[in-house]
Amino acid sequence: MDESVRHTCVVGLQFGDEGKGQLVDHLAATANVVVRFNGGANAGHTVRLGESRFALHLLPSGVITPGTTNVVAHGVALDPQQLLAEIDQLAERGISLTGRLLVSDRAHLVMPWQKAEERLLEAAAGRLGLPVIGSTGRGIGPTYAAKAHRLTAIRAGELRRLDRLAPKIAAIVTLQNALLTTLAALSGSAFEPFEVAAVLAALEPCAARLAPYLADTASWLDTALADGQTVLFEGAHSALLDVDLGTYPYVTSSACTPLGLGVGSGLRDARVDRVIGVLKAYGSRVGAGPFPSQADDLAAARLRERGQEFGTSTGRPRRCGWLDLVLAGYTARRCGVTGLAVTGLDVLSDLAEIPLVVAYDLDGQRLTTPPAEAVDLAACQPVCEMQPGWRSSLADCRDWADLPAAARAYVARLAATCGPVAYVCVGPRREQVLPLPATEEIAPRR
Ligand code: GDP
Ligand code: IMO
Ligand code: MG
């Protein structure tokens, strides 16, 4: 294996939607292989080329770049219909994935009853006074739960043998209908029981179409590395939504840091020597959960309007606020970030000064790391530092040196807490990703 090859992982450092898709698309030009290793269609990653916009949910954001092979590894919760819909949408736009997409035969399938369970469970939990997460409704939590339960889970490789899968599905449908009927009664919602014949009829064409893409992707990646290929790992969701490190229980159900790529792809994370932590220059969160740096309604509406902060998966308006350095410093350390990509700087261009959250006050104590419990995080009073704004458009900047001094100072302030900066983004398009010169040392490497 060529040890000089650099493998990279891109992860988000906040609550998702930092611009990971844009960074992966930028880096894909230098990669042979792009891998999704966690989450499922609850992710929404946007790539913009000129006026064209691609919203990817299951496919890696390397698909737009010709010459890349794209891998959906076994850690992904795979909705077969959604994957095929994305493949078709790209084909309509002239992008073929034939021979350049591999889907793990060990990936767990999202089945329709898992989406129903998610909807009914949230409704029942709400009625009973349990936390409501505000899930995307893509069935991801129940799919990973079924994976852990094992008895009712289905993996993509099973689609190769529908003769064996059909009786298993019949048994699962019986079980699920019984469980979901009870859940529906508790939630006060309607539930139409699943019919085996209909489930199989929907699955059969998917099985046929997915067959050519199925592979043992972990072994395939071993060979790719041995051949000296460069691999780019695309983290979905973000560190604050990580099932262990995030603001539990208001998180997603997968491991969203570079630590997840080993489990989710079968490669050791030690083989990745560059971790790009994507950090939006302000804050956003979609769904429920604590967000100490959330702005007041007026300021949040301005950020939402300027940043077009509406969910890529669900279209929901995102809650908006300021950059929280307590949380971002914590996640940058947990992710082992070697370089930051600071996105959305242009969104702040209309502000005379910009608040940054640098500490919390909780019960008379000053905190610089987040408390473990979501309820305590929600009670934290943010301590803000004001940074001077720049009040000029950044959209046409094409080099770090083109940025106004105040914008560079703002970035340097983030770097002081979160680590060295490798990229800044001044807009959503490909050419608005600006690599920093290697010599530009704006924060010491930790
Ligand atoms: P992801 O989930 O991290 O890939 O991010 P999303 O695609 O869900 O959301 C990020 C949104 O911000 C998308 O609409 C991007 O096109 C857009 N975006 C990315 N970087 C920038 C930037 O630097 N400035 C602005 N204004 N928008 C950006
Ligand atoms: P990307 O990859 C933003 C949020 C949901 C919800 C919680 C749990 O585009 O950054 P789930 O459907 O996983 O059960 O939802 O997590 N969430 C995201 N928010 N970006 C994402 O992904 C998200 N993935 C999940 O809104 O609050
Ligand atoms: Mg997104």
Q: How far apart are CA 221 and CA 70, in angstroms?
A: 11
Q: How far apart are CA 411 and CA 177, in angstroms?
A: 53
**Residue located nearest, by CA, to atom 15 of ligand 1:** 428
- Specify the CATH class of 108-212 in words: mainly alpha
45 annotated active-site: yes
Longest Cα pair distance anywhere in the chain, in angstroms?
Answer: 66
Q: Which ligand is nearest to the CA of 237?
A: 2
| Position 62 pLDDT exceeds 70 | yes
pLDDT digits (tens, 9 = 90+) for 320-334: 999 999 999 999 999
Nearest-CA residue for atom 26 of ligand 2: 287
In angstroms, what CA-CA distances link 6 with 272, 274, 277, 328? 7, 7, 16, 25
pLDDT of res. 441: 47
What mean pLDDT do residues 255-276 have?
91
Query: 108 catalytic, yes or no?
Result: no
Q: Is the pLDDT of residue 271 over 90?
A: no
pLDDT mean over 120-124:
96
φ/ψ of residue 144, rounded to 5? -65, -35
pLDDT for residue 442: 56
**pLDDT (tens digit, 9 = 90+) per residue, 1-51?**
344 558 999 999 999 999 999 999 999 999 999 999 999 999 999 999 989
> What integer is the mean pLDDT of 80-94?
97
Closest C-alpha to ligand 2, atom 23: 237
**Considering every ligand atom, which ligand is closest to the CA of 397?**
1
262 CB within 6 A, ligand 1: no
Substitution site in 48, 51, 343 for ligand 1 pocket (most atoms within 8 Å of beta carbon): 343
Does ligand 2 lie within 6 Å of residue 12's CB atom? yes
Closest ligand 1 atom to 47 CA: 16
Q: Say which range, 86-95, 205-214, 265-274, 363-372, has the weakest mean pLDDT.
A: 265-274
266 lines ligand 2 (CB under 6 A): no
Catalytic residue among 7, 25, 26, 45: 45
- Closest atom, ligand 2, to C-alpha of 241: 16
Spell out the domain ranges in the chain. 8-95+217-435, 108-212
Closest CA to 370 of 239, 274, 197: 239
Q: Whose atoms come closest to the Cα of 305: which ligand?
A: 1
In the chain, what percentage of residues exceed pLDDT 70? 97
What pLDDT is stored for residue 3 in this prediction?
Answer: 44
Residue 439 has pLDDT above 80, yes or no: no
CA-to-CA separations, 315 to 50, 55, 308, 312, 336, in angstroms, rounded: 22, 12, 11, 6, 32
Burial class (CB in 10 A: 0-12, 13-18, 19+), 132: middle
Query: Which of 385, 220, 272 lies closest to 9 in space, CA to CA?
Result: 272
Dist. CA 95 → ligand 3 center (Å): 22
Answer whether 142 contacts ligand 1 (Cβ < 6 A).
Answer: no
* pTM for the structure as a whole: 0.96
% residues pLDDT > 90 (the chain): 93
Q: Residue 413: CB within 6 Å of ligand 1?
A: no
Between the CA of residue 62 and those of 79, 83, 94, 179, 410, what are the distances in Å? 19, 15, 15, 40, 30
Q: Please give the backbone phi and psi of residue 60, each rounded to the nearest 5 degrees, phi first.
A: -60, 150
- Which residue owns the Cα nearest ligand 1 atom 12? 19
Give the pLDDT band (50/70/90) at residue 198: very high
Per-residue confidence band for 444, with pLDDT thresholds at 50, 70 and 90: very low
Annotated catalytic residue within 17, 105, 269, 324: 17
Distance (Å) from CA 314 to ligand 2 centroid: 10
Detail the DSSP E strand segments found in 163-303.
214-215, 231-234, 274-280, 283-285
Tell me what pLDDT residue 4 has: 52
* Minimum-distance ligand 1 atom for the alpha carbon of 24: 4
Cβ of 21 below 6 Å from ligand 1: yes
Q: Which fold has domain 8-95+217-435?
A: Adenylosuccinate Synthetase; Chain A, domain 3 (3.90.170)
**pLDDT beyond 90 at 446:** no
Q: What is the pLDDT of residues 201-221, one digit of tens each?
A: 999 999 999 999 999 999 999
Mean pLDDT of 287-314: 94
Residue 437: pLDDT band with limits 50, 70, 90: confident
Q: What is the pLDDT of residue 1?
A: 39
Q: Is the CB of 119 under 6 A from ligand 2?
A: no
Is the CB of 286 within 6 Å of ligand 2?
Answer: yes
Measured by CA distance, the residue closest to atom 18 of ligand 1 is 428
Which of 334, 226, 325 is CA-nearest to residue 279?
Answer: 325
In this structure, which residue's CA is closest to atom 15 in ligand 2? 135
pLDDT 10s digits, 403-431: 999 999 999 999 999 999 999 999 999 99
